Amino acid sequence: MVKKRIAMMVLLASSLAACGGGGGSSSPSDGPEPTPAPPPATDTGGGDNDTPEDDGMLTFTPEPLNVEYWRALVAAEPSFHFVDTSDAYQTPPNPDQCDPGVISTAFSGMVLEAVNETRALHGLAPVTYLESYDPEVAAAALYQHVNQTLTHNPNSSGTCYSQLAVDGSSTSNLSSNPRLSHPVGAVISWIDDSNNLNDVAGVGHRRLILAPELANIAYGQVEGKAALKVLGFTGPSNDVGTAGEFVASPSGDYPYILMPLGGSPTPWHIEMAEGSNFDFSDATITVSAVDTQDALSVDIQATRTDFASWFVADAEYDVEYTITIDDIGGDGAPFTIEYLAKLVHSEIADVSAPLESGDGSVDGRTASVRGNIDFLHDRDSHKVSLEGTVTVSGSTSRYSGMAYYVAVYSPENELVGEGAEPFVLEDLPAGDYTINVSLCSSYRVCYGETLDYLIAVE
């Protein structure tokens, strides 16, 4: 039998110019709570759809990466853990009085921008922010905060219980941080979804934000608890038409910050258009580098009608991969789906943090540096000449909490090594490298104490 092929043709186009802003992350042990129940199925992703060819191949073109936006977000991310109340609220919350306060328009606007920029990566229609639902999500966030819980089903015996809290909690993605943090950090954590407390394999938070029919959102936050309403709106949905056949994440040029490597693993996934009736239960999934054809290890996590998710071992930034899914069942089966994906890092990474007084090289050790992390979101970037095999070590202790992360970038801004403990880099071409020092890693794990540092590169 001849297999039918559906291919997503990814064009690596130049970026769109746009205003930058926003960004954020969650602390290592905190993340989104179980998702509200998604709709029966998630609809198609978009882009320009070509007429099916005689061989059964369908193609569509996703939106190009908005480099300006994602570069600005990455640059701002270290400050996302440390937010002032005056920036977050028009009226600050008063939890003792069961008052959730009023979120600032700046915060809600950055959430809307982050959601729409992420949807644009998949060619999906933008959503609209509906302030009329703010009381729901504010009450939901308040209930989570005062009861120190994450639940989609508030208990009537809980503090600050209300019908608004019930309505908001049952129709929203929820997340938790130990302190007031930037709202785009919550959006990123829902797309990453590696800390999903209910079903990591189901990536439900991600799928709800990327649901093609999603037309509206609302956002509430009280301290570190946040709620993003994605279900239960009155009114029309986005008209998804027949723009595309599936939503896949990652696909095309994808910002690494949404699915960072090195932290808790997060599944890659695909979801077909509603009603496609594709059966992935016997499918085989291959992820291979375009340049070398080397295949990565794939561990399939979930297969449902019109949905599959899988872990990928040893993926790298800035490497383009072909994802091939064979032996898909369904009407007219078997099918094969093939598309491209690249976790873009070097094009959007921020490796130019300024040095302050006391930061610099160590006398007599040309590749060693010292300095001070003067405030919690301080970062220092040092230029050093490296070649061959080098060991990077510093005056850091993960176990005492007096620690920091060291990241080494190539002359082309590629991340070649990172850690809070000593690490070895081998076969480095001669060149001017950048050593970044920060309390936070590229995968959003952070330490919380300012300190002095001394890094030896030998």
Q: Which residue has the higher pLDDT, 143 or 458?
A: 143
Q: At a CB cut-off of 8 Å and minimum separation 6, what does 195 contact? A: 26, 30, 31, 32, 189, 264
Contact 404, 437 (CB under 8 A): yes
Q: What is the DSSP letter of 152?
A: S
Tokens representing residue 35 in the block? 């998702």
What is the token pair recorded at 447? 């330490």
- The residue type found at 414 is E
What's residue 418's pLDDT? Answer: 85
pLDDT-derived band at 5 (thresholds 50, 70, 90) equals: low
Rounded CA-CA distance 39/45 in Å is: 15
pLDDT over 70 at 10, yes or no: no
CA 382 to chain centre: 27
Task: Work out the percent of the chain whose per-residue pLDDT is above 70.
Answer: 79
Instruction: Give the three-class secondary structure for 338.
Output: strand
48/202 Cα distance (integer angstroms): 27
Q: How confident is the model over 155-184, as a mean pLDDT?
A: 94
Please name the amino acid found at residue 51.
Answer: T
Residue 28's pLDDT band (cuts 50, 70, 90):
very low
Tokens found for residue 261: 């490597």
Q: What is the pLDDT of residue 165?
A: 97
- Residue from 134, 138, 25, 12 nearest 79 by CA: 25
Task: Count CB neighbours of 412 within 10 A.
Answer: 10
User: Residue 365 forms beta bridges with which residues?
Assistant: 362
Q: Using alpha carbons, select from 28, 33, 45 the residue that is nearest to residue 247.
A: 45
What are the tens digits of pLDDT across the range 329-370?
987 778 899 999 999 999 998 777 777 776 777 654 556 888
Buried b (16+ CB within 10 A) or exposed e, 381-399: bbebebeeebebbbebeee
Helix intervals (H) in 77-199: 85-88, 105-121, 134-146, 163-170, 183-192
- Is 70 exceeded by the pLDDT of residue 68? yes
CA distances for 71 relative to 61, 65, 228, 323, 406, angstroms: 22, 10, 24, 26, 20
- At 342 the pLDDT is 96
Tokens of 282: 């016997």
Instruction: Say if strands 216-222 and 128-129 run parallel, antiparallel, or are unpaired.
Output: parallel
- Considering only CA atoms, which of 217, 237, 236, 235 is closest in space to residue 227? 217
Instruction: Indicate the pLDDT class of residue 34, thresholds 50, 70 and 90.
Output: very low
Write the burial class of residue 48 (CB in 10 Å: 0-12 exposed, 13-18 middle, 19+ buried).
exposed
Q: How far apart are CA 10 and CA 13, in angstroms?
A: 9
Q: How confident is the model at residue 36, as a pLDDT?
A: 60
Q: Which residue has the tokens 């279900």?
A: 231
* Residue 378 confidence (pLDDT): 77
Which residue would you say has higher pLDDT here, 439 or 411?
411
State the pLDDT at residue 308.
96
- The pLDDT assigned to 35 comes to 55
**Tokens 């308040």, residue?**
142
The Cα-based distances of 121 to 13, 45, 74, 252, 429 in angstroms read 12, 10, 16, 8, 34
Tell me which DSSP letter residue 258 carries: G
Q: Which residues pair with 344 in a beta bridge?
A: 255
Per-residue model confidence as pLDDT tens digits over 205-255? 999 999 999 999 999 999 999 999 999 998 777 766 434 589 999 999 999
Q: Look-up: residue for tokens 């540092």?
A: 453
